[in-house]
């Protein structure tokens, strides 16, 4: 297929304008409509991309046989009904994070897409940044060795969300990145969540997640709405090298360190000795060259490629569901004062519940 696909953007609020701009600029897509109940807001978005039809009616969009797909940029609680209606109308669907507001609804979306033979893609935008694509490539090539730990920090003096806590607002970014770069995806069986609400908003404003990886490593996520400094950083430690991703450092977003404990020279016998001599590697640090390309342009391209190739997107509905599973387990753990809670890993676990 060489002709363009046709897409409508549903929602003209915070994220919709970014989607509209990238679909309009893409050689793969024809931006067919902007759909929003607020027609003035929809018109502003349409005007910003050179003029696009607007409508307040989702039914009209879904009834249009010329529209191949929709991109949903609406509040999380609306993702489920919009996505199901679109999938039942034969439209491919892309959904901004999180996939849904509950895991059970996310499961239904994934199942419906599979039953109808349609693409359901999670818009995990960070996964399509040049930095994260390079990190995935390095891990796949074995440059870091076996992954021992992932330590992620996403903090800032941010907007207190009215409908979700800091975990559901910020952690989906970190979790989706881990799912994208780790071999086997976000393969965790339990999560412990601790949070704090110093503002007495009724929801956690500061949060910590700890997740043992089934590979034997451990992952940790720190999210915070109250930090006076903004940090977007992930440290990924492996048996061979350690990688640091600093998203706020445009000069050197990714650094690879050939430094650390030399595990190959450690043995159980020496580790059990109080006077054990730890062996360290003292190698070079290097920064891979990264191309400059907007992540959402890559998202739009991947959505089109998945539809044309009749394959799951790199950030599929299943990927969104794995992230959703961790978030839901984290909420349960938070309510149990941080006690570890099981992370559902298969669709059938919801069906059998």
What's the token pair of residue 277?
């001599």
Domains of the chain and CATH, by start: 5-126+303-311 (3.40.50.720), 127-294+327-341 (3.30.360.10)
Would the pLDDT of 352 be above 50? no
pLDDT number for residue 350: 45
Cα-based distances in Å from 184 to 179, 187, 293, 312:
8, 6, 27, 15
pLDDT number for residue 159: 82
Would the pLDDT of 167 be above 60? yes
Would the pLDDT of 183 be above 60? yes
Rg (CA), the chain: 22
As a whole number, mean pLDDT of residues 183-187 equals: 90
pLDDT number for residue 99: 96
* Range scoring the smallest mean pLDDT among 27-41, 106-120, 247-261, 296-310: 247-261
pLDDT number for residue 47: 96
pLDDT number for residue 259: 78
Rounded CA gap, 295 and 224, in Å? Answer: 24
**Tens digits of per-residue pLDDT, 96-120?**
999 999 999 999 999 999 999 999 9
Q: Cα dihedral sign for 252, 135, 257, 230?
A: positive
What's the token pair of residue 296?
């959402």
Closest to 287 (Cα-Cα) out of 309, 258, 267, 311: 258
What 8-state DSSP symbol labels residue 162? S
Rounded CA gap, 148 and 228, in Å? Answer: 30
Task: Read off the pLDDT band of 273 (50, 70, 90).
Answer: low
What's the token pair of residue 153?
């920090």
Rounded CA gap, 54 and 76, in Å? Answer: 22
DSSP 195-238: EE-TT-SSS-SEEEEEEEBTTS-EEEEEEESEEEEEEEEEEEEE
pLDDT number for residue 293: 87
As a whole number, mean pLDDT of residues 31-57 equals: 97
Contact 237, 139 (CB under 8 A): no
What 8-state DSSP symbol labels residue 171? H
**Tens digits of per-residue pLDDT, 78-94?**
999 999 999 999 999 99
pLDDT number for residue 15: 95
Cα-based distances in Å from 298 to 22, 118, 155, 170:
9, 20, 26, 22
Closest to 324 (Cα-Cα) out of 184, 196, 164: 164
E runs forming strands in the chain: 5-10, 29-35, 54-55, 69-72, 92-96, 120-123, 147-157, 190-196, 206-212, 218-224, 226-238, 242-246, 254-261, 280-286, 341-342
Would the pLDDT of 328 be above 60? yes
**Tens digits of per-residue pLDDT, 190-204?**
999 999 999 998 999
Would the pLDDT of 327 be above 80? yes
What's the whole-number average pLDDT of the chain?
92
pLDDT number for residue 266: 57
Residue 228 has φ and ψ, to the nearest 5°, of -70, -15
* Range scoring the smallest mean pLDDT among 67-81, 225-239, 270-284, 320-334: 270-284
Rounded CA gap, 25 and 233, in Å? Answer: 30
Cα-based distances in Å from 200 to 30, 165, 331:
46, 12, 17
pTM here? 0.91
As a whole number, mean pLDDT of residues 154-159 equals: 91
Containing H/E element for 21? helix 16-25
As a whole number, mean pLDDT of residues 244-258 equals: 95
């Amino acid at each position: 297929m060489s002709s363009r696909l046709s897409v409508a953007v549903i929602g003209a609020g915070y994220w919709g304008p970014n989607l509209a701009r990238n679909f309009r600029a893409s050689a793969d897509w024809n931006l067919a409509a902007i759909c929003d109940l607020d027609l003035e807001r929809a018109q502003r978005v349409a005007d910003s991309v050179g003029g696009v039809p607007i409508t307040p009616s989702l039914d009209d969009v879904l009834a249009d046989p010329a529209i191949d797909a929709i991109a949903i940029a609406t509040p999380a609680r609306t993702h489920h009904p919009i996505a199901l209606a679109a999938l039942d109308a034969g439209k491919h669907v892309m959904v901004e994070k999180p996939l849904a507001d509950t895991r059970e609804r996310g499961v239904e979306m994934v199942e419906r897409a599979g039953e109808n033979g349609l693409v359901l893609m999670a818009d995990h935008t960070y996964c399509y940044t040049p930095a994260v694509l390079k990190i995935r490539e390095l891990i796949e090539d074995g440059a870091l060795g076996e992954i021992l730990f992932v330590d992620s920090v996403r903090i800032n003096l941010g907007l207190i969300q009215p409908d979700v806590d800091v975990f559901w607002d910020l952690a989906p970014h970190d979790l989706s990145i881990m799912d994208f770069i780790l071999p086997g995806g976000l393969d965790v069986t339990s999560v412990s969540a601790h949070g704090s609400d110093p503002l007495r908003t009724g929801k956690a404003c500061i949060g910590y997640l700890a997740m043992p990886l089934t590979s034997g490593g451990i992952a940790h996520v720190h999210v915070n709405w109250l930090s006076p400094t903004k940090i977007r950083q992930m440290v990924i430690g492996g048996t061979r090298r350690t990688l640091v991703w600093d998203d706020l450092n445009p000069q050197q977003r990714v650094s690879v360190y050939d430094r650390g404990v030399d595990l190959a020279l450690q043995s159980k016998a020496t580790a059990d000795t109080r006077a054990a001599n730890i062996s360290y590697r003292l190698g070079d640090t290097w920064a891979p060259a990264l191309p400059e390309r907007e992540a959402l342009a890559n998202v739009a391209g991947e959505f089109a490629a998945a539809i044309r190739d009749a394959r799951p997107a790199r950030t599929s509905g299943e990927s969104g569901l794995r992230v959703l599973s961790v978030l839901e387990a984290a909420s349960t753990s938070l309510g149990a004062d941080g006690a570890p809670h099981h992370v559902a890993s298969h669709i059938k676990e919801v069906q059998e519940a």
